[in-house]
Structure 1
Amino acid sequence: MSVQSSSIQKIEYLPLDQIIRPIPPVLDYSKIDTMVSTLNGQPMASPTCNIEDITPGELPPIDVLTVSENGEKKYFAFGGCHRFQAYEKSGKQLVKCKILPCTKKQLRLYLGSSVDSYFEE
């Protein structure tokens, strides 16, 4: 759970292919394999998580920013890279998320002027 989403209780499931991940991840593949095992109902302990804290078949939600413009919603994620890869590798199409409303101006803080390229028609 992050500081930004700690007060958000609502969990939503978004299609993996609708979430834009504009920053390339740096990945630890053993961590991804551990998460895939958890998603498949066979949790394994890891250096960052105790087995007692794991719910089989579940990963913590990923924080996703949503920007609405011209009646269209776009979803952006900047964290949760290993969880995304685990969902993808396990073949899951829906990602457990906490949605945080955001404006295009706020998103510009993360992406600079490249933010406009995501909203061109």
Structure 2
Amino acid sequence: MLAGSIQSRAVKQQSLPLSSLLRPIPPVLDHRKIDSMVQTLQGATPDFIPTPAPESITPGHLPPVDVLHYHSEKDGKDFYFVFGGCHRMQAYEKAGVQMVDCKVLKVTRGMLKVYLGGSVDALVGEE
């Protein structure tokens, strides 16, 4: 199974609390896919396998989510942004899983602006 995206393939996997992951862009979701992932998290064989199908399905686990980590020098806070993996994130929430497997990439404020534009200031409390 591929472990994350091309950008994160060489990045070590770690677990982060679901509650610390920020998702600033509302997702468009396929609920059958989410239910399938919840079944996988619960160790069951999913009733539905989306296309394209994952390379392999490991009961109890989903592939890691790519996370962008921004550390604010201004106030020392850490921000963890998720822009992909929307179905996995919804499945974690629905299954009540507290820790999420992630591939964390450190980013600068300028890099975040590519994703968030001017709203980056409001989200990280900087100007």
TM-score when normalising by structure 1: 0.92
**Fraction of identical pairs, as percent:** 55
- 5 Å-filtered alignment, 1:36-115, equals 36-44=38-46, 46-48=49-51, 49=53, 53-70=56-73, 71-115=76-120
Report what 2:23 is aligned to.
21
Deviation, structure 1 residue 86: 0.2
Q: Considering only aligned residues, what root-mean-square deviation do their CA atoms show, in Å? A: 1.5
Deviation, structure 1 residue 43: 2.5
- Bigger drift between 82-91 and 66-75 goes to 66-75
Any gaps of 5 or more consecutive residues in structure 2?
Answer: none
Any gaps of 5 or more consecutive residues in structure 1?
Answer: none
> 4+ runs of 1 displaced by more than 6 Å?
none
Letter of the structure 1 residue corresponding to residue 109 of structure 2:
K
SS of 2:105's equivalent in the other structure is: strand
CA contact (8 A) 1:35 1:43 kept: no
CA contact (8 A) 1:33 1:86 kept: yes
